């Protein structure tokens, strides 16, 4: 059964015994092995892979809005979810952190990344794949993945080529195609104290 296309943003709030707010954005994304899947993985490397990534530099280092921020594509045999997660810094509201996360995504949608950035993320992806396949455990996991999802364990030898075919234009394209508000669910994960404060606010009388 194919899930119907999402037409508008869905939002919710969960309160729990935590200290700091978190923002989780889940965008629908295509299945593993598609061309767009590889471009979205490259986009994740750009946004949040390491301390020199865009989101980390802006939201953690410069603006100090977040303690942690990551963009993770969860690919599978069926269409999956592209998650963007941010853990707010002390004193930062979830809504303000969300604005910062959205701003970094909009930058990728608006303009091509630089040649320097593009080469850097290509190097990072290539290094990650080589590192994954340098241990028996990593090789076994990848062989099982390709066999189960694609029926071809030999894909372990050609996966890197698919990443290297991704262009700067492809990264901008998938950002515009999938990372849209109407294609996402947004969750605020807030301390219980925030709910108590909200409940104690008296409604204003309209006069």
The pLDDT tens digits for 18-32 are 999 999 999 999 988
Domain covering 10-195, topology: Cytochrome Bc1 Complex; Chain A, domain 1 (3.30.830)
- Residue 169 main-chain phi, psi, to 5 deg: -65, -35
Q: Which of 1-10, 104-113, 145-154, 161-170 has the lowest mean pLDDT?
A: 145-154
Kindly report the pTM of this predicted structure: 0.87
Mean pLDDT on 182-199: 88
Residue ranges of domains in the chain = 10-195
* DSSP state, residue 165: T
Contacts of 72 (CB under 8 A, 6+ apart): 44, 48, 82, 83, 84, 85
205 has a pLDDT exceeding 60: no
204 has a pLDDT exceeding 80: no
Query: What pLDDT sits at residue 201?
Result: 44
- Residue 207's pLDDT band (cuts 50, 70, 90): very low
Exposed, middle or buried, 74 (CB in 10 Å: 0-12/13-18/19+)? exposed
Beta strands across the sheet bearing 66-74: 10-16, 184-191, 22-29, 80-88, 66-74
Q: Which of 79-93, 127-141, 176-190, 193-207 has the lowest mean pLDDT?
A: 193-207
Query: What pLDDT sits at residue 141?
Result: 87
To the nearest whole percent, how much of the chain has pLDDT over 70?
Answer: 94
């Amino acid at each position: 059964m194919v899930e119907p296309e999402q037409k508008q943003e869905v939002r919710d709030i969960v309160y729990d015994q935590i200290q700091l707010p978190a923002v989780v954005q889940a965008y629908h994304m295509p299945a593993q092995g598609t061309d767009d899947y590889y471009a979205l993985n490259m986009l994740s490397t750009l946004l949040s892979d390491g301390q020199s990534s865009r989101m980390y530099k802006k939201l953690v280092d410069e603006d100090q809005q977040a303690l942690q921020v990551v963009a993770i594509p969860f690919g599978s045999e069926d269409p999956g979810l592209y998650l963007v997660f941010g853990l707010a810094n002390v004193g930062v509201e979830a809504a303000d952190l969300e604005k910062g996360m959205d701003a970094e995504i909009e930058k990728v949608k608006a303009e091509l990344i630089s040649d320097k950035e593009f080469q850097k993320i290509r190097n990072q992806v290539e290094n990650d794949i080589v590192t994954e396949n340098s241990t028996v455990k990593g090789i076994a996991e990848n062989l099982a993945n390709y066999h189960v999802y694609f029926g071809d364990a030999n894909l372990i030898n050609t996966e890197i080529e698919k990443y290297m075919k991704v262009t700067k234009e492809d990264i901008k394209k998938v950002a515009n195609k999938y990372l849209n508000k109407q294609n996402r669910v947004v969750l605020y994960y807030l301390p219980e104290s925030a709910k108590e404060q909200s409940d104690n606010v008296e409604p204003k009388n309209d006069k």
